Amino acid sequence: MTRLNSILVATKGSELDIGGRVVLEARGAKAEILSRTISKGGSIIARGILIGEKPGVKAHLECSGLMLSDEGSIRAIPELDGRVAGVELSHEAAVGKISQEEIEYLMARGLSEREATALIVRGFLRVEMVGLPESLKREIDRLVEESEKSLL
């Protein structure tokens, strides 16, 4: 099982073009590519390519992007490349804004609009990565927290 996780935050002036490719070349190989991207003025290209070369391989790709500003851009480019019968490749990609429904749900619990937005952004960037050593996990959490500050 291969997992590629990226968490990308682009503020004004930054240009990120990041992604990963997984070639599934052994029977029963599995992969998951996940990216969470937020643009606040910067531009992001989030790429992901899954190539299935043997029957019975299974892989999924998820790109979610949040646009928090009228400037900047997010381009999600998911690619699936099946080369034999019996591969199972799938993707879901979405670029959008924070949903009003989610904000109001949290406001009904007493959070202000700003606090609700902050909680949603924090959740969005909180990707649970399986199998990382504790020290690396802590470092990632710290970096995500730093990035949050630039957004709110």
Question: Which amino acid does the sequence have at 139?
Answer: E
Is residue 132 at the binding interface for another protein, with CB under 8 A as the rule?
A: no
Residue number, 100 or 135, with CB nearest to another protein = 100
* H runs (alpha helix) in 3-133: 100-107, 113-125
Question: At its nearest, how many Å lie between another protein and the CB of residue 91?
Answer: 17
The answer to whether 24 touches 52, Cβ cutoff 8 Å, is: yes
What letter does residue 128 receive in the DSSP assignment?
A: -
Which CB sits closer to another protein, 36 or 52? Answer: 36
> At closest approach, how far in Å is the CB of 32 from another protein?
16
Dist. CA 135–CA 150, nearest whole Å: 24
Stretch that binds another protein, among 27-35, 70-78, 99-107, 134-142 (CB under 8 A): 99-107
